[in-house]
């Protein structure tokens, strides 16, 4: 496996900035963040309360980027839901979603999460999928962190995923989220040693 050189790292960083600066890509990512928030919490992210999970979108994490996300989540003091897009196709749907959270003094990343919706059209939950032991699912709690429920989803898994996909598509195409990107900001997170910095700029209209 080839190690990433500084020149390669800089080229990768510039590609991400270029893709994120595309108005259509930024709008698509912001609509997904808003739709995830509505499905999981019942309200938009701009109505988030202290202590509740933060949500954001970006590109697939590579070359240690996940460590930077974990450090930022630890500093925020709450869970962080990350929706990942392909840097070469950011106008399409996300390729993954994950949760960064602190447990027992350690930072954990639950990757490859999928949305699951109950038959009664209630709040969706996030279900990690992958290798190893089935950890359960994450449910939203008003005013606090996500609750990890160590159990199977309360219903048929495939049917719940289909319901979530259908609702997500409806929300993405709704008038409510049409111009949500006008309220959004791009956070460019970087580090120098142990110090973490975030450069914040409004998304292009």
DSSP 8-class letter at 162: H
Q: Count CA within 13 A, CB hemisphere, residue 48.
A: 20
Cβ neighbours of 18 (radius 10 Å):
11
Per DSSP, the three-state class of 138 is: strand
Q: Bigger pLDDT: 181 or 91?
A: 91
Q: How far is CA 16 from CA 19, 81, 95, 171, in A?
A: 5, 19, 16, 26
pLDDT band at 190 (very low <50, low <70, confident <90, very high): low
Asked if pLDDT for residue 1 goes beyond 50, the answer is: no
Task: Return the domain boundaries, the chain.
Answer: 6-202
CA distance 80 to 42: 17
Which tens digit of pLDDT belongs to each residue from 5-62?
666 556 555 666 656 667 888 889 889 999 999 999 998 877 788 889 998 888 888 7
**More reliable by pLDDT, 5 or 87:** 87
Indicate whether 159 pLDDT > 80. yes
pLDDT band with cut points at 50, 70 and 90 for residue 2: low
Q: Which residues of 165-198 are buried (b: 16+ CB within 10 A; e: fewer)?
A: eebbeebeeeeebeebbeebebeebeeeeeeeee
Please tell me the distance from the alpha carbon of residue 28 to that of residue 69, in angstroms, as a whole number: 21
The whole-angstrom distance between residue 2's C-alpha and the CA centroid of its chain comes to: 28
Task: Give 127's contacts (C-beta < 8 A, 6+ positions apart).
Answer: 113, 114, 115, 116, 137, 138, 153, 157
What percent of the residues of the chain are helix, what percent strand, and what percent coil, each to the nearest 5? 35, 25, 40
Please state, rounded to an integer, the average pLDDT across all residues of the chain: 82
pLDDT at 88: 87
Q: Of the ranges 54-63, 87-96, 189-198, which one carries the lowest mean pLDDT score? A: 189-198
pLDDT tens by residue, 121-138: 899 999 998 755 667 999
pLDDT band at 202 (very low <50, low <70, confident <90, very high): low
- Local confidence band at 113 (pLDDT 50, 70, 90 cut-offs): very high
Tell me what pLDDT residue 136 has.
92
CA angle 3, 191, 76 (to 5 degrees): 125
> How high is the pLDDT of residue 67?
80
């Amino acid at each position: 496996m080839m190690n990433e050189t500084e020149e390669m790292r800089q080229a990768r960083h510039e590609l991400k900035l270029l893709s994120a600066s595309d108005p259509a890509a930024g709008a698509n990512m912001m609509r997904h963040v808003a739709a995830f928030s509505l499905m999981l919490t019942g309200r938009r992210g701009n109505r988030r309360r202290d202590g509740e999970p933060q949500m954001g979108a970006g590109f697939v994490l590579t070359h240690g980027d996940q460590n930077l996300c974990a450090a930022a989540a630890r500093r925020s003091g709450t869970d962080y839901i990350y929706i990942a897009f392909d840097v070469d196709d950011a106008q399409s749907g996300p390729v993954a979603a994950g949760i960064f959270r602190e447990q027992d003094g350690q930072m954990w990343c639950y990757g490859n999460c999928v949305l699951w919706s109950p038959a009664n059209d209630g709040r969706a939950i996030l279900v990690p999928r992958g290798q190893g032991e089935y950890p359960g699912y994450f449910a939203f709690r008003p005013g606090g962190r996500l609750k990890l429920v160590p159990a199977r989803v309360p219903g048929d898994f495939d049917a719940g995923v289909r319901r979530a996909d259908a609702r997500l598509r409806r929300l993405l195409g709704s008038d409510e989220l049409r111009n949500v990107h006008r309220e959004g900001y791009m956070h460019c997170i970087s580090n120098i040693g142990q110090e973490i910095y975030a450069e914040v700029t409004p998304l292009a209209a």
